[in-house]
Amino acid sequence: MARYLDLYGLFLVQRFKILMEYRVNFLIGASSTIILQVSSLLTIWVVMSQIPSLNGWSYYEVLLIYGLITLAKSINHMFADNLWTIGRQYIRTGSFDRFLVRPINPLFHLLADRFCHDGIGNFLVGSVLVITATRQLNIPWSLNNVLYLVLMVLSGGLIFIALNLITGTTAFWIMDAVPIMRVVFDFHLFAQYPLSIYPRAVGILLTWLIPYGLASFYPASYLTDRSLGWVAWGAPFVAIILLILAYQVWKFGLKYYAGTGS
């Protein structure tokens, strides 16, 4: 583990050296996501100005949900965005082969090969939203709440990564896995709002099958004193299960990788 942490640090340093060669591009990339988030936040503001309560959820409570899912998504965006490019950038071009001839885990190499600085903007937006919402809602920044937030955000990020890995692995068979990844990934848009406003089937889907709700709705419910029982603590356990499943799917797909041929 220590070896891989050291290696990732080296990859990260080299990546930032590359990014700093084009500093304007770095700033544009990091800020572009902030601009995109602003448009989504304006939508929430317009909706909530007309409907002050979404099934019992106030404006700042909805912002808390949105901020939590944005933080979780930012972890995936920064550290695992390369999963979106497996097919078109690595398998199609044959450059995936270099991951197989080096003495490190191919999946680790794929993830470490690119840190996506665009995710920094998402992280900043999510942090501001969570801080603002908790202050407006008088949620105390106690040690327990801080540790809970950190645990849920990290677990949510791992849920994003696991789901992207499962769907991204289909690139070993169909080359371009982006359409499949997009279908699953876009379900997180529903988790930007309280799950209680949707039909029961949607709530079940976003809790147990595509569990983005565990990264947003349930932690927000816990912090706002809505009793949901043990499910509010479910994200870490679901994240571990999904990661194990995702890695098994990855290894299965890797066995069937045959290169690009001639």
Q: What are phi and psi of 256, to 5 degrees?
A: -100, 5
pLDDT, position 25: 66
Query: H helices of 80-213, where?
Result: 97-100, 106-112, 119-136, 143-168, 171-174, 178-185, 200-204
Residue 24 tokens, joined: 């304007």
Report the predicted TM-score, pTM, of the whole model to 2 decimal places. Answer: 0.92
Provide the 8-state DSSP code for 114.
-
Residue 69 in tokens: 């899912």
Q: Look up residue 200 and give its two tokens.
A: 């029961």
Q: CA 135, CA 239: separation in Å to the nearest integer? A: 28
**By the 8 A CB rule, do 129 and 149 touch?**
no
Q: Quote the pLDDT of residue 7.
A: 87
Where exactly are the structural domains of the chain? 2-255
Chunk the chain into consecutive blocks of 10 residues (it has 262) and report each block's average pLDDT, rounded to whole numbers. 85 76 65 75 82 89 96 96 93 90 93 88 93 96 96 98 97 92 96 94 96 97 90 96 98 86 51
Predicted pLDDT at 262:
47
Rounded Cα gap, residues 47 and 44, in angstroms: 5
